Amino acid sequence: MELTEKTLDYNARTSLLKSLSWFDWLYALVLAGGSIYAFQLYGNYMDAYEKGILFLAAAGMIWQGWFWKPFRVLLLAVAILSLFGISQYHGQLARAEQTFFLKFFFGSQTAIMWMSALFVLATASYWFALLTRSGFTARVSSAITWSAVVMGLVGLMTRWYESYLISPDVGHIPISNLYEVFILFSILTAMMYLYYELRYQNRQLGAFVLLVISAAVGFLLWYTFDRQAHEIQPLVPALQSYWMKIHVPANFIGYGAFALAAMVGVAYLLASKGILTTRLPAPELLDDLMYKSIAIGFALFTIATILGAMWAAEAWGGYWSWDPKETWALIVWLNYAAWLHLRLVKGLRGPLLAWWAVIGLFVTVFAFLGVNMFLSGLHSYGTL
């Protein structure tokens, strides 16, 4: 006899909706109100897809905030600081260099420099915490990482606004070139790390994950100071599409997750060799985290690649042209598909998979940077 709820009339599960607090609802209200307000202000300039993206993004962020509570605070903080920053411009780009708050905090370039500095600081601080086993320092490191994420997001928001101040036809979402996506990468990787930090109640891995973020920041700084890459450039025709708004973030959640997995892999390998073993979480936790982030990375990377194909079909006339960037996306994808098969189907665990995750990051980095540097093709937007 199959048991049914009717025969037993009992439900012990608390559904998500019932568990929501007043703050959750306030948060949802602010987001819903905000998106409606934005729609009223700018709806005339959006096409149907962009309107869809606006509301779906709002819905997605409401869900994300309900699912991961600190996200609500993060989002509200970013919103308040960004709006404050934007209010300081009075519609003049030049004020970014003159007004106190913009010059020292929220002007896009300044905010991004803050983000960079804070990420590097957090890296050092996490390492200090790891080596001295200081719980307090570890908590401080988390706080620094959170502030770096806030500043990075505020920087992107004001950069978005600044691009429109340059000229309305230049304005665009700041995820269009290598410089901007590196910022996005740093922020997303940090956010995913912070999510797992809370989830596993474990701050030791920050030392590793923040290393890869610091490397990205290093690249960003070199790119800024040596190549003036931070200048806002208008969009070439191929990039003027709503597809960019979904394809790029999906891709970078994927890349960020793979980077996170690789750094956890490094920690795993060190711990398995007896280095820092007592300071790092148990191997099962590392293994689990590695799997989870590769899984989320794989899922999002799959979506991103499909979105990319759909975009390509609209921009170039073919959903798959075997252009080097596409091909390398496929290689990355196959690589992680093999990883997942080995772990899930063959039940493999241990250092081999950790090594594989680390090497996977190199393959990923090649797909994301190397292709632009060494191979030519249709995707020639972010040349070095």
Q: Which residues bind ligand HEM (CB under 6 A)?
A: 337, 340-341, 344-345
List, in sequence order, every beta strand (DSSP E) within 264-308.
none
320 binds another protein (CB under 8 A): yes
Question: Looking at 148-156, 186-194, 210-218, 334-342, which segment touches another protein (CB under 8 A)?
Answer: 334-342
Given CA atoms 183, 184, 185, 189 in this order, what sign does their dihedral have? positive
373 binds another protein (CB under 8 A): no
Given CA atoms 194, 196, 202, 203 in this order, what sign does their dihedral have? negative
Q: How far is 49 from 159, CA to CA, in rounded Å? A: 23
Answer whether 73's CB lies under 8 Å from 153's CB.
no
46 binds another protein (CB under 8 A): no
> For ligand HEM, which is the closer residue by CB, 131 or 306?
306
Look up residue 37 and give its amino acid. Y
Q: C-beta of 115: minimal distance to another protein in Å? A: 26
Q: Binds 283, which of another protein, ligand HEM, none (CB < 5 to 8 A, cut-off by type)? A: none
Question: Looking at 89-97, 150-158, 206-214, 280-288, which segment touches another protein (CB under 8 A)?
Answer: 280-288
Look up residue 224 and give its amino acid. T
Nearest by Cα to 325 from 238, 222, 260, 261: 238
List, in sequence order, every beta strand (DSSP E) within 161-282.
none
Look up residue 347 and give its amino acid. G
380 binds another protein (CB under 8 A): no
Instruction: Tell me which of 20, 334, 348, 352 binds another protein, using CB under 8 A.
Output: 334
Q: Binds 117, which of ligand HEM, another protein, none (CB < 5 to 8 A, cut-off by type)? A: none
Answer whether 85's CB lies under 8 Å from 102's CB.
yes
How many Cβ atoms are within 10 Å of 17's Cβ, its own excluded? Answer: 8
How many Cβ atoms are within 10 Å of 261's Cβ, its own excluded? Answer: 33
Q: C-beta of 140: minimal distance to another protein in Å? A: 27
Binding site for another protein (CB under 8 A): 1-5, 8, 10-13, 167, 169-170, 228, 233-234, 236-238, 240-241, 243, 284-285, 288, 291-292, 295-296, 298-299, 302-303, 306, 309-310, 313-320, 322, 324, 327-328, 330-331, 334-335, 337-338, 341, 344-347, 371, 375-377
